[in-house]
Chain A
Amino acid sequence: MILDGKAPTGRIEESWDKHRFELKLVNPANKRKYKVLVVGTGLAGASAAASLGELGYNVEAFCYQDSPRRAHSIAAQGGINAAKNYPNDGDSIYRLFYDTIKGGDFRAREADVWRLAQVSNNIIDQCVAQGVPFARDYAGYLDTRSFGGAQVSRTFYARGQTGQQLLLGAYTALSRQIKAGSVKLFPRTEMLDLVVVDGEAKGITVRDLVTGEIRTHVGDAVVLATGGYVNVFYLSTNAMGCSVTAIWKAAKKGAYFANPCFTQIHPTCIPQAGDYQSKLTLMSESLRNDGRVWVPKKKEDCNKPPNEIGEDDRDYYLERKYPTFGNLAPRDISSRAAKEACDDGRGVGPGGRGVYLDFAASIKRLGENVIRERYGNLFEMYERITDEDGYKQPMRIYPAPHYSMGGLWVDYNLMSNIPGLFVLGEANFSVHGANRLGASALMQGLADGYFVIPYTIGGYLAAAKPGKVKPDHAECLKSIADVQETEKKLLGVNGKRTVTEFMRELGSLMWNNVGMGRSEASLTEAIQKIPAIREEFWKNVKVSGGGMETNQQLENAGRTADFFEFSELLARDALHRNESCGGHFREEYQYPDGEAKRDDANFCYVAAWELKGAGQEPELHKEPLKFENVHLAVRSYK
């Protein structure tokens, strides 16, 4: 089936304004009759719930953490883009739009990206009004920096905690609505199923993580803003609780999953130290502004202390391969280059999985004080984790899974193919194509929540009768029974291996075969192996405790079970996409110099997968992509 993204036609500059005008409105007096369920309280969810509550809708907000403020958006360090052009360096909505399309390797819908660029400016204004303490210059105006390969300075930031500050802004807006009574909050509540009635999304089934109670909440529309899924690799920069569960359950109820294989690997993470490791920590990319990346030229040197390796014996491979961008080459390129060096046996640190990020030259040039001022907190963090002093010896870094560009398929209104199911933020596939630019995810989350969904949801609700489904509807009862059944199964296996052991096994298979470099062989192998581990999981997992209590093992087991199903789809998508683009690198598809080889003739589409039930192959639907405002071109960072 050919999917229609419902993108408006006509001049792109007017597309959003025109569309907004054409959307139906809900009568203000009627708004409170509509109940909207918002799952997720990250940037996307919190901003959506707050804005919808303020408009007068009756909102319920859910998150699995104990407080909305702890959503993983909190961890974003670098910054948020906007086309304000405050520094007068040539930025514009068009340039941000252009950069995002190009950065995403031409795999995103033009109209959606245009809208994102357009509302980016409103986001900054909104956050300032909320009291977000953005960095300022001495004149008192907002400061910006350049980020992630962009040639203009359009990234707004709040020290190294931009995500935190933006999320706290949205969280306070949400808190205000909770106080006002327009939003009801359900923390420590995990969505475990989507309730679809007559083809429309009308509720969710959740587990209260404290009491273990399983119940259904019904509403007139469901908004999922549940974040990304790169924890499918087990070790990633995501929080321990990040999972695919919410969107996977929706996919099982018929929502299409788009481009699952588009995942982003971040080049500057602290390498893994041992098998017990539970997560990887990101260090802001800004380090690459002053650090030089290298590995030893000779394998024998890998175990030598770095300071004893002479200048001539070092391979500054990024500077060598990409003389123009050097150490600032885009994320996917520098990640892959690091992997190549380590695959070549020249990696450093435990397991040979690390490369050096060396500040010696800039310390010499600028002085240690300047470096300390710029990156002091990052050096501190590095030392806390590794016990090594980055001023005295080079840091070790390695790429780590970081972000998922794929997600549930949505149209221009952010509505999935299930009417009434809206998907925002990292959980949808929309604007980043095959690769996301630095500082653009925060922008997307807030754009979706503050400035898109408040309009587009009205278009759906205006035509819907409020309160159609009651909690005792047969579909709700069935959904509860299904969730209880799964829980009973998990608790009943009583095998010998822990959930974490299984997740580690799945994760390392995914990382090795479906991670940075993918080939037909590695993907086929993964697709064969995943069902075997999955089967063993269901036969041999041990989940202690019961269902009607706080049970973290049970929570993990459920999330892991979903990763086991989802991982296969991810691998399958990667296998079907016979090209390299953005974060998806198929070893067979590269130019002789190692550059990704895109295939626009055959793959210039969004791959949206429809699940067909257990044991059945998923069906692929395509949404062809048209580029009328930016011309398809090969990306080059040489």
Chain B
Amino acid sequence: MSAQASGHGTMNIKLIVWRQAGPDKPGNFETYEAKGITPHHSFLEMLDVVNEDLIKQGKDPITFDHDCREGICGTCSAVVNGVPHGGQKRTTLCQLHMRKFKDGDSIYLEPWRARAFPIIRDLMVDRGALDRLIQAAGWISCHTGGVPDGNSTPIAKRDADYAMDAAECIGCGACVAACPNGAAMLFGGAKVAQYAALPQGQVEAPERVAAMIQAMAENGFGNCSNHYECQAACPKGIDVKFITRLNREFYKALVLDKVGATPPKKS
């Protein structure tokens, strides 16, 4: 439906955007005008419009990360008026639509900010630290081939559902961006909890959680103070109960003397 048909006009939006030419360059806010935006534009399509304009004026377009534009790849990332992904419940930035804004609104756009996520350019940051957490601890050591039949171990539906709730994380890093401590506990907790809930993951659970916590420290993430800001900003609604689980698994590992006792194990 066109903007008119659905009873909305077009709108003009003022954008105040963090511009930074490179990792070690200084950054500052620039103001742009997004004109002729309809309520059906997605937030990123609104940015496309601004960028097309900038290119034609011979200016550098705003660099921002994005790929699937349907809320699943976890690539898009920017802080809109202080809230990662813009604050619509369970919605990534690419799925946020301009009907949530009004004509004349001013919008502040900033990159994810956390020590663990250095800025690459403008709104694009380096989230490699999240991958390094998974490399350190986010797997089950099964080999390709030589595994039992899928139905050989029944798994209670509630456990499978719990694991799936945790597994929905898209790795966007909004939890880190939202956390006043720059902690990755929600992201890490979700992975630890997913595997701890499944029989095939329990075997290595103590080693996994120990390695996860160590990797968090090594990669510059902060500690958890239970602000729960992460859950509120998470576009997939990942619950902080997975951080509880992470903590519980960690104490178990402590008691079993798996923490730091041996260097986190290689595959």
Direct A–B contact in complex, judged by CB atoms less than 8 Å apart: yes
Q: Whole-angstrom distance between the alpha carbons of A211 and B161 in the complex?
A: 42
- CB-defined interface of B44-83 with A at 8 Å, one 1/0 digit per residue? 1100110010111011110101111111111100000000
B120 A138 Cβ-Cβ under 8 A: no
Are A276 and B200 CB-contacts (below 8 A) given A136-B155, A172-B140, A544-B59? no
Of B124-132, B217-225, B238-246, B253-261, the one contacting chain A is B124-132
B59 A51 Cβ-Cβ under 8 A: no
Are A125 and B138 CB-contacts (below 8 A) given A278-B69, A544-B61? no
Of B33-41, B103-111, B174-182, B226-234, the one contacting chain A is B33-41
B154 A139 Cβ-Cβ under 8 A: yes
B167 A274 Cβ-Cβ under 8 A: no
A501 proximity list for chain B (CB < 8 A): 52
* Residue A225 lies at the interface, judged by CB distance under 8 Å to chain B: no
* Residue B87 lies at the interface, judged by CB distance under 8 Å to chain A: no
B198 proximity list for chain A (CB < 8 A): 131, 133
Q: Which of B38, B48, B143, B144 has the most CB of A within 10 A?
A: B144
Q: Whole-angstrom distance between the alpha carbons of A500 and B61 in the complex?
A: 13
| Set A65, A122, A542: member contacting B55, Cβ < 8 A | A542
Instruction: For the complex, count residues of B whose C-beta is within 8 A of A.
Output: 85
Q: Whole-angstrom distance between the alpha carbons of A349 and B2 in the complex?
A: 9
| Set A130, A135, A278, A550: member contacting B121, Cβ < 8 A | A550
B72 A164 Cβ-Cβ under 8 A: yes
* Residue B28 lies at the interface, judged by CB distance under 8 Å to chain A: no
Q: Whole-angstrom distance from the CB of B143 to the nearest CB of chain A? A: 6
| Set B90, B128, B141, B147: member contacting A176, Cβ < 8 A | B141
Q: Whole-angstrom distance between the alpha carbons of A185 and B155 in the complex?
A: 34
* Residue A141 lies at the interface, judged by CB distance under 8 Å to chain B: yes
Are A54 and B138 CB-contacts (below 8 A) given A278-B45, A552-B61? no
A165-216 interface with B by 8 A CB criterion: 165, 168, 171-173, 175-180, 185, 187, 210
A113-147 interface with B by 8 A CB criterion: 122, 124-131, 133-142
B1 A276 Cβ-Cβ under 8 A: no
A133 B160 Cβ-Cβ under 8 A: yes
* Residue B151 lies at the interface, judged by CB distance under 8 Å to chain A: yes
* Residue B16 lies at the interface, judged by CB distance under 8 Å to chain A: no
* Residue A361 lies at the interface, judged by CB distance under 8 Å to chain B: no
Q: Which of A131, A134, A158, A165 has the most CB of B within 10 A?
A: A131
A74 B73 Cβ-Cβ under 8 A: yes
Are A129 and B120 CB-contacts (below 8 A) given A137-B157, A141-B151, A498-B52? no
| Set A133, A176, A282: member contacting B167, Cβ < 8 A | A133
A66 B157 Cβ-Cβ under 8 A: no
A86 proximity list for chain B (CB < 8 A): 151
A277 B45 Cβ-Cβ under 8 A: yes
* Residue A323 lies at the interface, judged by CB distance under 8 Å to chain B: no
A550 B5 Cβ-Cβ under 8 A: no
B267 A544 Cβ-Cβ under 8 A: no
Are A178 and B155 CB-contacts (below 8 A) given A84-B150, A279-B69? no
| Set B42, B73, B88, B139: member contacting A239, Cβ < 8 A | B73
| Set B136, B151, B200: member contacting A129, Cβ < 8 A | B200
Q: Whole-angstrom distance between the alpha carbons of A130 and B144 in the complex?
A: 9
Which secondary structure characterizes the binding site on chain B? loop
* Residue B134 lies at the interface, judged by CB distance under 8 Å to chain A: yes
B48 A278 Cβ-Cβ under 8 A: yes
Are A131 and B97 CB-contacts (below 8 A) given A142-B150, A176-B267, A550-B121? no
B267 A131 Cβ-Cβ under 8 A: no
Q: Whole-angstrom distance from the CB of B27 to the nearest CB of chain A? A: 14
Q: Whole-angstrom distance from the CB of A69 to the nearest CB of chain B? A: 6
A425 proximity list for chain B (CB < 8 A): none
* Residue A444 lies at the interface, judged by CB distance under 8 Å to chain B: no
| Set A139, A240, A384, A450: member contacting B95, Cβ < 8 A | A384
* Residue A451 lies at the interface, judged by CB distance under 8 Å to chain B: yes
* Residue A539 lies at the interface, judged by CB distance under 8 Å to chain B: no
B167 proximity list for chain A (CB < 8 A): 133, 158, 164-165, 168
* Residue A630 lies at the interface, judged by CB distance under 8 Å to chain B: no
Name the residue of chain B whose CB is nearest to the CB of A543. Answer: B55
Q: Whole-angstrom distance between the alpha carbons of A384 and B54 in the complex?
A: 28
Q: Whole-angstrom distance from the CB of B53 to the nearest CB of chain A? A: 10
B155 proximity list for chain A (CB < 8 A): 136, 140
Q: Whole-angstrom distance between the alpha carbons of A140 and B160 in the complex?
A: 8
B72 proximity list for chain A (CB < 8 A): 74-75, 161, 164
A126 B156 Cβ-Cβ under 8 A: no
* Residue A531 lies at the interface, judged by CB distance under 8 Å to chain B: no
Q: Whole-angstrom distance between the alpha carbons of A239 and B67 in the complex?
A: 5
B58 A451 Cβ-Cβ under 8 A: no
B90 proximity list for chain A (CB < 8 A): 380
A276 proximity list for chain B (CB < 8 A): 38, 41, 45, 48-49
Name the residue of chain B whose CB is nearest to the CB of A134. Answer: B160
A507 proximity list for chain B (CB < 8 A): none
A366-419 interface with B by 8 A CB criterion: 380-381, 384-387
* Residue A454 lies at the interface, judged by CB distance under 8 Å to chain B: yes
Q: Whole-angstrom distance from the CB of B39 to the nearest CB of chain A? A: 7
* Residue B135 lies at the interface, judged by CB distance under 8 Å to chain A: yes
A122 proximity list for chain B (CB < 8 A): 145
Q: Whole-angstrom distance between the alpha carbons of A336 and B33 in the complex?
A: 42
* Residue A273 lies at the interface, judged by CB distance under 8 Å to chain B: yes
| Set A66, A173, A384: member contacting B97, Cβ < 8 A | A384
Are A66 and B126 CB-contacts (below 8 A) given A75-B70, A164-B170? yes
Name the residue of chain A whose CB is nearest to the CB of B164. Answer: A133
Are A131 and B171 CB-contacts (below 8 A) given A277-B45, A384-B97, A451-B145? no
Q: Whole-angstrom distance from the CB of A88 to the nearest CB of chain B? A: 12
Q: Whole-angstrom distance between the alpha carbons of A273 and B42 in the complex?
A: 11
Q: Whole-angstrom distance between the alpha carbons of A638 and B245 in the complex?
A: 53
A544 B45 Cβ-Cβ under 8 A: no
Q: Whole-angstrom distance from the CB of B193 to the nearest CB of chain A? A: 11
* Residue A67 lies at the interface, judged by CB distance under 8 Å to chain B: yes
B44 A130 Cβ-Cβ under 8 A: no
Are A141 and B154 CB-contacts (below 8 A) given A131-B195, A172-B138, A500-B48? yes
* Residue B148 lies at the interface, judged by CB distance under 8 Å to chain A: yes
B73 A544 Cβ-Cβ under 8 A: no
* Residue B247 lies at the interface, judged by CB distance under 8 Å to chain A: no
* Residue A58 lies at the interface, judged by CB distance under 8 Å to chain B: no
Q: Which of A129, A187, A450, A498 has the most CB of B within 10 A?
A: A129
Q: Whole-angstrom distance between the alpha carbons of A426 and B9 in the complex?
A: 42
A70 B74 Cβ-Cβ under 8 A: yes
Q: Whole-angstrom distance from the CB of A476 to the nearest CB of chain B? A: 27
Q: Whole-angstrom distance between the alpha carbons of A461 and B140 in the complex?
A: 29
B164 A175 Cβ-Cβ under 8 A: no
A268-291 interface with B by 8 A CB criterion: 273-274, 276-279, 281-282
A180 B267 Cβ-Cβ under 8 A: yes
A522 proximity list for chain B (CB < 8 A): none
Q: Whole-angstrom distance between the alpha carbons of A406 and B127 in the complex?
A: 34
B99 proximity list for chain A (CB < 8 A): 387
B69 proximity list for chain A (CB < 8 A): 239-240, 278-279, 281
B75 A65 Cβ-Cβ under 8 A: yes
- CB-defined interface of A46-77 with B at 8 Å, one 1/0 digit per residue? 01001100100000000001111110101100
B65 A179 Cβ-Cβ under 8 A: no
What are 13 pairs between A and B in contact, CB < 8 Å? A50-B144, A67-B130, A129-B140, A133-B163, A140-B157, A142-B151, A164-B170, A176-B135, A210-B126, A241-B67, A274-B3, A277-B45, A545-B60
Other contacts beyond A172-B139, A451-B144: 6, CB < 8 A: A72-B73, A74-B170, A173-B142, A274-B38, A279-B69, A500-B52
